[in-house]
Amino acid sequence: MLLSAQEPESLVKRPEPAGSLKPVTSSTRPNFFGLAPPPDPLAVERGQRLFVATCGFCHGSTAKGGNNGPDLVRSVLVLHDEGSGTEVGPVILEGRPAKGMPKFAMSGAQIKDIASFLLSLSHAAVNRGDYRILNVVTGDPKTGMAFFNGHCSGCHSPTGDLTHIAGKYEPPVLQGRFLYPKARSSPGS
């Protein structure tokens, strides 16, 4: 192979030998949304506790913005950090005095945990199919019973067709079935 004076040998591309391709694995394959791989759940848990205690008063406990702190879930700086702490670390350590953010004395491990927590929120915002609705049971049981007796008991019975219904479905699914039934019957149909 001939080299010109302008092409150092280190820049010349040589063909890879046959069979030298690296296998594509889940850790090397980028996901559809271009997010970094999901962070360690234990780091997320530690980071959440630290974030809520240290940063939540301004950024909100879910990092979506608070009294004077911006939304960090959609922050370009946080998205570029990819859970490593390299982007958010300097901001945490130096603060942003002009914007009212104080400095925080944290270790590299603490910063990485916070970055992992923030990355998990970005993942949750993008991967909506993984979102789980929690604490959906609301209302007053007596009021619900009165409504059921007045509007539903003509067709349904807790000891008949609705027996053990709560054991058949998770609370969000059951609530969805009540609020958004697949087929509605109306008089005359």
pLDDT at 152 over 80: yes
Q: How confident is the model at residue 74 (pLDDT cuts 50, 70, 90)?
A: confident
- C-alpha dist (Å) from residue 90 to 43, 45, 83, 122, 127: 19, 22, 14, 20, 28
Work out the pLDDT band at 20, boundaries 50, 70, 90: very low
Residue found by looking up tokens 């901001």 in the block: 91
Is the Cβ–Cβ distance between 111 and 121 less than 8 Å? no
Q: Which CATH code fits 41-130?
A: 1.10.760.10
Query: How far apart are alpha carbons 81 and 29 in whole angstroms?
Result: 18
* Confidence tier at 129 by pLDDT (50, 70, 90): low
Q: Give the separation between CA 165 and CA 186, rounded to whole angstroms.
A: 23
Whole-prediction pTM: 0.55
* pLDDT for position 33: 63
Q: Which helix (H) or strand (E) holds 180?
A: none
Domain boundaries of the chain, sorted by first residue: 41-130, 141-179
| Average confidence score pLDDT of the chain | 78
15 vs 126, higher pLDDT:
126
The answer to whether residue 19 scores a pLDDT higher than 50 is no
What backbone torsions phi and psi does residue 96 show, to the nearest 5 degrees?
-135, 75
